């Protein structure tokens, strides 16, 4: 039994049918030969195949030994096709099997027709019956052999196909697994996308709700803000009126207090002032006389000896803003009258001593240089802390006073002296109330030279009047006629940083005593105290990298 997916061929049944067709009896209508009368011995001559009908000629024609060789070559070419060649060859074999079955059935039909035709013909057909049967048997055997060959080929094709399918399954197992994994990932992504879409819809709904709430809150806030603005403006107007009234009362009380104080002492003070004026006029005359004598003596002595104080540096022409030598005595007395006593100044500047100590300056190898030492209060504080320091000033009177107290003070112009120093030879440079006397270009040059002569980590300290205090910036700053202009703290700090110093900080100093302050019951009183009675001085402290 030969079986395929499309049809079934029963070879045994086919063989028995062919044999039955070969044994079909002659037709009954054919006359039986007369046994009694012997037929004349006439040689039987088989008719030519060309004289027979087409069906008989096709039947008795010799059957081909096998199928054409082109079919086998075509089947091998089919098997050479990549991946599906075995399946194509197997399908071609199935098609060949159907053709073989059809050819066998046609042959049987034609044989049956030929046999029927031959039975009705002349006796010569009987002679050919045996020969014809032999040929049919041979043809049948050839067909059976071909059927068995096709069956073997189909079996081989089936085996090859199964093997190829198994190989394909093994080869495709990985891609199939990847496809399954991709499908799983796609399903997960779809589920996640659905969840995200749902979450986005929820967030959108919440956002719309929040927007609606925000619009409601905005309307309520704007309404409340309008009410609050109106009430605040009304309260501020009332407060301003109350403050103005309180300030007027305070001013009137202060004026009354001043008038009362002056009225009680007016007579005595007037007499004392009259006497003081006379004595002051006499002293001024004496001072002017002595000053002229001193200046003339110094000029004569300088012209005769050409002597210059040690440490003064190279001689330079008088700079802009310098005090004329004829006013040295005036400026010394001016400091006594307007700046304060030595004890007050020492108490004020002593707050900077710890900064010098922490910076490591003031050693004999790296002393502190005080520019514009004046009466020497800061030099005394440094000496009391055990620090090496010296000062320079252009005023002969103050320099002599410092030397009389045992301080190292030298007469020299600041920029000329500092230019004469070696690089990194100074531990610290200080200047109290000097910056406001200098033009901007001179101050910048002084900072540049200071940066050069300071040792790494050396400290710079500049103290000057604080114009943030309105009384200082608008009045007391101009008590000194040699002052040029106030320097705001941020400006001086910027200049110090811009010239190369680091860690520049502002230290505000010396506020007015508490007895000067106005009542601080409200913001206006606190603000006025800050603007009028705040720090009178400030210092910029920086260092060299």
Confidence of residue 34 (pLDDT cuts 50, 70, 90): very low
User: Residue 262: which residues within 8 A CB-CB, separation 6 or more?
Assistant: 269
| Residue 374 · residue 397 · CB < 8 Å | no
Residue 58 has pLDDT above 50, yes or no: no
Q: Helix, strand or coil for residue 509?
A: strand
Confidence (pLDDT) at 122: 62
User: Residue 378: which residues within 8 A CB-CB, separation 6 or more?
Assistant: 349, 352, 370, 391, 430, 432
CA atoms within 13 A on the CB side of 435: 26
Handedness of CA 330, 331, 334, 340 (dihedral sign): negative
Give the whole-number percent of the chain exceeding pLDDT 90: 28
Residue 307 has pLDDT above 50, yes or no: no
Highest mean pLDDT among 69-83, 122-136, 256-270: 122-136
User: Residue 384: which residues within 8 A CB-CB, separation 6 or more?
Assistant: none
| Residue 443 · residue 418 · CB < 8 Å | no
Residue 211 has pLDDT above 70, yes or no: yes
pTM confidence score: 0.43
Residue 380 has pLDDT above 90, yes or no: yes
Q: CA geometry: angle at 374 spanning 370 and 377, to 5°?
A: 75
Structure-model confidence comparison of residues 222 and 496, the more confident one: 496
Q: Give 134-190 pLDDT, tens digit per residue.
A: 888 888 888 888 888 888 888 888 888 888 888 888 888 888 888 888 888 899 989
Q: Give 322-363 pLDDT, tens digit per residue.
A: 455 566 666 667 776 677 788 888 989 999 999 999 999 999
Confidence (pLDDT) at 451: 94
Confidence (pLDDT) at 170: 84
Structure-model confidence comparison of residues 220 and 271, the more confident one: 220
The DSSP H or E segment spanning 282 is helix 124-305
Residue 82 has pLDDT above 70, yes or no: yes
Q: Give 488-515 pLDDT, tens digit per residue.
A: 999 999 999 999 999 999 999 988 887 8
Confidence (pLDDT) at 341: 80
Confidence (pLDDT) at 280: 59
Q: Give the lowest-confidence range in 145-154, 252-261, 378-387, 471-480.
A: 252-261
Confidence (pLDDT) at 23: 58
Highest mean pLDDT among 125-134, 416-425, 519-528: 416-425
Q: Give 455-489 pLDDT, tens digit per residue.
A: 999 999 999 999 998 888 888 888 788 889 999 99
d(CA 508, CA 494) in angstroms, rounded, equals: 16
d(CA 260, CA 200) in angstroms, rounded, equals: 82
Q: Give the lowest-confidence range in 287-301, 348-362, 373-387, 399-413.
A: 287-301
Output the CA–CA distances (angstroms, integers) from residue 497 to 259, 424, 490, 500, 543, in the order listed. Answer: 50, 19, 11, 5, 10
Structure-model confidence comparison of residues 258 and 134, the more confident one: 134
Confidence of residue 432 (pLDDT cuts 50, 70, 90): very high
DSSP β-bridge partners for residue 433 = none
Confidence of residue 74 (pLDDT cuts 50, 70, 90): confident
Residue 115 has pLDDT above 90, yes or no: no
Confidence (pLDDT) at 429: 97
Rg value, the chain, Cα: 67
Residue 300 has pLDDT above 50, yes or no: yes
Handedness of CA 303, 306, 310, 315 (dihedral sign): positive
Handedness of CA 95, 98, 100, 102 (dihedral sign): negative
Confidence of residue 110 (pLDDT cuts 50, 70, 90): confident
Confidence (pLDDT) at 287: 60
Confidence (pLDDT) at 119: 65
User: Residue 355: phi, psi to the nearest 5?
Assistant: -65, -40
Q: CA geometry: angle at 505 spanning 501 and 508, to 5°?
A: 140
Q: Which of 507, 491, 489 is nearest to 499 (CA)?
A: 491
How confident is the prediction for the chain on average, in pLDDT? 77
Give the whole-number percent of the chain exceeding pLDDT 70: 70
Structure-model confidence comparison of residues 60 and 114, the more confident one: 114
Residue 235 has pLDDT above 60, yes or no: yes
- Mean pLDDT across the stretch 279-293? 55
Structure-model confidence comparison of residues 98 and 73, the more confident one: 98
Confidence of residue 227 (pLDDT cuts 50, 70, 90): confident
| Residue 107 · residue 22 · CB < 8 Å | no
| Residue 273 · residue 281 · CB < 8 Å | no
């Amino acid at each position: 039994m030969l079986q395929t997916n499309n049809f079934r061929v029963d070879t045994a049944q086919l063989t028995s049918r062919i044999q039955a067709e070969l044994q079909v009896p002659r037709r009954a209508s054919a006359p039986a030969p007369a046994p009694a009368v012997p037929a004349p011995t006439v040689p039987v001559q088989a008719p030519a195949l060309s004289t027979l009908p087409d069906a008989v000629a096709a039947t008795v024609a010799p059957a081909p030994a096998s199928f054409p060789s082109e079919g086998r070559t075509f089947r091998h070419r089919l098997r050479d096709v990549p991946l599906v060649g075995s399946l194509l060859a197997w399908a071609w074999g199935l098609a060949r099997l159907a053709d073989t079955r059809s050819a066998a059935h046609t042959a049987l039909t034609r044989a049956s027709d030929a046999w029927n035709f031959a039975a009705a013909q002349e006796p010569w057909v009987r002679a050919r019956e045996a020969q014809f049967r032999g040929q049919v048997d041979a043809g049948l055997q050839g067909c059976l052999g071909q059927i068995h060959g096709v069956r073997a080929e189909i079996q081989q094709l089936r085996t090859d196909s199964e093997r190829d399918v198994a190989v394909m399954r093994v080869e495709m197992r990985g891609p199939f697994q990847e496809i399954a994994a991709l499908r799983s990932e796609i399903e997960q992504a779809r589920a996640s996308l659905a969840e995200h879409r749902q979450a986005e819809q929820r967030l959108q709904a919440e956002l719309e709700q929040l927007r609606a709430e925000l619009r409601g809150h905005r309307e309520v806030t704007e309404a409340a803000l309008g009410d609050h603005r109106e009430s605040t403006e009304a309260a501020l107007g009332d407060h301003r009126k109350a403050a103005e009234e309180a300030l007027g009362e305070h001013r009137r009380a202060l004026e009354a207090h001043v008038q009362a104080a002056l009225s009680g002492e007016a007579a005595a003070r007037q007499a004392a002032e009259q006497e003081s004026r006379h004595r002051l006029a006499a002293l001024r005359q004496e001072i002017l006389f002595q000053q002229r004598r001193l200046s003339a003596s110094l000029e004569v002595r300088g012209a005769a000896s050409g002597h210059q104080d040690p440490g003064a540096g190279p001689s330079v022409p008088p700079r802009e803003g310098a005090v004329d030598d004829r006013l040295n005595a005036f400026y010394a007395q001016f400091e006594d009258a307007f700046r304060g006593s030595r004890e007050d100044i020492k108490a004020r500047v002593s707050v900077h001593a710890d900064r010098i100590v922490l910076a490591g300056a003031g050693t004999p190898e790296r002393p502190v240089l005080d520019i514009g030492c004046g009466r020497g209060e800061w030099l005394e504080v440094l000496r009391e802390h055990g620090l090496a320091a010296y000062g320079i000033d252009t005023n002969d009177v103050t320099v002599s006073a410092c030397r009389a107290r045992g301080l190292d003070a030298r007469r020299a112009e600041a920029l000329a002296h500092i230019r004469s120093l070696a690089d990194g030879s100074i531990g610290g440079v200080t200047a109290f109330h000097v910056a406001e006397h200098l033009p901007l270009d001179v101050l910048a040059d002084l900072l540049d030279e200071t940066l050069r002569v300071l040792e790494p980590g050396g400290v710079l300290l500049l103290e000057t009047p604080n114009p943030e205090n309105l009384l200082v910036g608008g009045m007391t700053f101009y008590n000194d006629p040699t002052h040029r202009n106030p320097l705001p703290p941020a400006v001086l700090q910027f200049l110090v940083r811009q010239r190369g110093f680091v860690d520049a900080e502002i230290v505000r100093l010396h506020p007015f005593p508490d007895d000067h302050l106005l009542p601080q019951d409200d913001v206006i009183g606190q603000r006025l105290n800050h603007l009028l009675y705040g720090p009178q001085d400030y210092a910029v402290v920086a260092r060299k990298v």
